[in-house]
Amino acid sequence: TKLTEEWLQNYVDDWVSFYHRQTEEGEVASYIPILKEADKNHLGISIISKNGINIHSGNVDIPFTIQSISKVFMFIVACMERGIPYVLDRVDVEPTGEAFNSIMHLEMRQVKKPFNPLVNAGAITVTSMLYGDTSDQKLEALFQLFERMLGFRPKLNKDVYESESETSVRNRAIGYYLVELGFLESELELTLETYFKQCSIEIATRDLAQMGMILANDGEDPKTGLEIIPRQVARLAKALMLTCGMYEASGKFAAYVGIPAKSGVSGGIVAVAPPRIREDDLPFLEGCGIGVYGPALDKQGNSVAGIRLLRHIAKQWDLSIF
Ligand code: GLN
Q: What is the pLDDT of residues 72-108, one digit of tens each?
A: 999 999 999 999 999 999 999 999 888 888 888 888 7
What pLDDT does residue 47 have? Answer: 96
Tell me the pTM: 0.95
Class for domain 67-201, per CATH?
alpha beta
The angle subtended at Cα 14 by Cα 10 and Cα 17, nearest 5°, is 135
Please give the distance, rounded to the nearest whole angstrom, from the Cα atom of residue 316 to the centre of ligand 1: 31
Nearest CA to ligand 1 atom 6: 68
In 3D, which of 222, 204, 322 has the Cα closest to residue 273? 322
Q: Do domains 5-66+202-316 and 67-201 have the same CATH topology?
A: yes
Class for domain 5-66+202-316, per CATH?
alpha beta
Judged against a pLDDT cut of 50, whether residue 1 lies above it is answered with no
Question: Mean of the pLDDT values across residues 24-36?
Answer: 90
CA of 254: how far to CAs of 261, 300, 314, 320, 322, in Å?
9, 15, 11, 8, 9
Please, are residues 46 and 60 in contact by the beta-carbon 8 Å criterion? yes
Please give the distance, rounded to the nearest whole angstrom, from the Cα atom of residue 198 to the centre of ligand 1: 10
What pLDDT does residue 283 have? Answer: 67
Point out the annotated binding site for substrate.
Answer: 68, 120, 164, 171, 195, 247, 265
Nearest CA to ligand 1 atom 2: 67
Q: How far, in Å, CA of 187 to CA of 215, rounded? A: 31
Q: Per mean pLDDT, which range of 84-88, 112-116, 200-204 is the poorest?
A: 112-116
pLDDT in tens, 250-264: 999 999 999 999 999
Q: What secondary structure does DSSP assign to 127-183, as a single string?
A: HHHS--SSHHHHHHHHHHHHHHHHSS--EE-HHHHHHHHHT-HHHHHHHHHHHHTT-
Please, are residues 305 and 27 in contact by the beta-carbon 8 Å criterion? no
Atom of ligand 1 nearest to the CA of 164: 1
Please give the distance, rounded to the nearest whole angstrom, from the Cα atom of residue 265 to the centre of ligand 1: 6
Q: Which of 65, 68, 70, 269 to probe ligand 1 with, by most ligand atoms within 8 A of CB?
A: 68
**Residue ranges lining ligand 1, Cβ < 6 Å:** 67-68, 100-101, 120, 164, 171, 199, 264-265, 301
Atom of ligand 1 nearest to the CA of 171: 4
Q: How far, in Å, CA of 290 to CA of 316, rounded? A: 15
Q: How far, in Å, CA of 243 to CA of 95, rounded? A: 6
Please give the distance, rounded to the nearest whole angstrom, from the Cα atom of residue 53 to the centre of ligand 1: 31
Q: Which of 127, 265, 297, 299 to probe ligand 1 with, by most ligand atoms within 8 A of CB?
A: 265
Q: Which of 198, 199, 202, 208 to probe ligand 1 with, by most ligand atoms within 8 A of CB?
A: 199
pLDDT in tens, 117-143: 999 999 999 999 999 999 999 999 999
Work out the burial of residue 233: count CB atoms within 10 Å of its CB; fewer than 13 is exposed, 13-18 middle, 19 or more buried.
buried
Judged against a pLDDT cut of 80, whether residue 38 lies above it is answered with yes
Q: What are residue 135's phi and psi, to 5 degrees?
A: -65, -35
CA of 40: how far to CAs of 37, 44, 62, in Å?
9, 12, 12
Q: Mind telling me the catalytic residues?
A: 68, 71, 195, 247, 265
Which helix (H) or strand (E) segment holds residue 120: the answer is: helix 120-129
Q: How far, in Å, CA of 278 to CA of 282, rounded? A: 10
Q: Domain ranges for the chain, please list them.
A: 5-66+202-316, 67-201
Q: What percent of the chain stands above pLDDT 70?
A: 96
What pLDDT does residue 3 have? Answer: 62
pLDDT in tens, 255-288: 999 999 999 999 999 999 988 766 666 766 789 9
Higher pLDDT, 311 or 51: 311
pLDDT in tens, 159-171: 999 999 999 999 9
Please, are residues 104 and 173 in contact by the beta-carbon 8 Å criterion? no
Q: What percent of the chain stands above pLDDT 90?
A: 83
Encoded amino acid at 85, one letter:
P
Question: Mean of the pLDDT values across residues 38-55?
Answer: 94
